[in-house]
Amino acid sequence: MTESRSATSLPLLPAAAFILVWSSGYIAGPAGVDAVAPFTLLGARFTVAAILAIALARWLRGPLRIDKRNLTRVCGVGLMMNALQFGLMYVAFDAGLGATLGALFHSLSPVLTAVLAGLLLRERLTRVQVGGFVLGVAGVLLVLGPEVSGAGGTLGVTMAILSVLTLSLGSLGQRWISSGPDPLWAAAIQFAVSAPPLVALALIVEGTASVTKPAQGLGIVLYLAVVNSILGLLLLGTLMRSGGGGASSSVFFLMPPVTAVLAFLCFGDTLNLRELTGLVVTVAGVGVATRKRRLRIAAPI
């Protein structure tokens, strides 16, 4: 599905705030897994986010109204977009994948979604989209360089690849959800359905000694739940009302450079010439591929 409106039609302040909030998630992720094991961190995040989102949806939208068919689809997409996508990326962060590289991988998602739609759903796929995706992948490979040990090794890179794949598949899955369910209630359900499997994984895989820095961990959980999940959701709603369903993808290519700046400010991370070139190549590829034809994608908030 396409969207004809461009990024220039989006309100500047909400768009800038959304980019900053979304990009900050790639900073909070590595900082969070430094204090709390990945599944424990995410289980706590989505538990808090679900409670807040349900309360907000009840207050702003009234009682939940959704049919069984859409409820099943909303839950399935929620598990893919939240539990799987974030679970995989946070394991990558825990393995050593950096914030900027994580943002770079996810920046490929709008174009990968279009490629998958062409391959799986026989939707029209343009040469520009294919070229942009190839250019984006080439840029990521350039950032990775000949050695992957600094990016979490084989485990970190593999988990990141699977994460962007689940994000794109989840975006395709959104198309099977009718326009009936309220977006705020749908998000609340998706947060709620993602928490139990993550908590179960945390107890099975990580055990009870999964928190090494309680104060930092609590701060990151609250930040991710309140700022990334709730505030990010509200900002996305503002953008979608102004720019349509492709609003988030219209600014997707801006996330990696903003994340790189935040990573420098927060962690002191710097990019060498090869990595900086790869960043520019990826941003250019994604920007070109999404410039003419806005792609529908749900924000990984």
Tokens at residue 207, please?
Answer: 């055990």
| Prediction pTM value | 0.89
- How far apart are the C-alpha atoms of 252 and 144, rounded to whole Å? 20
> pLDDT below 50 — which residues of the chain?
1-8, 294-297
Which DSSP symbol is given to 36? B
Is 248 a member of any domain? yes
Is 216 a member of any domain? yes
| End-to-end Cα distance, the chain | 21
Is 301 a member of any domain? no
Is 43 a member of any domain? yes
Tokens at residue 131, please?
Answer: 């070229």
Residue 249: Cβ-neighbour burial (10 angstroms; 0-12, 13-18, 19+) = buried
Is 127 a member of any domain? yes
Are 288 and 139 in contact by the 8 Å Cβ rule? The answer is: no
How many domains are contained in the chain? Answer: 1
Q: What is the pLDDT of residues 124-162, one digit of tens each?
A: 878 888 888 888 899 898 988 877 777 889 999 999 999
- Identify the pLDDT of residue 15: 82
- Identify the pLDDT of residue 148: 79
Is 300 a member of any domain? no
Is 184 a member of any domain? yes
Q: Which residue is associated with the tokens 């034809």?
A: 293
Domain that holds residue 78: 2-295
Is 265 a member of any domain? yes
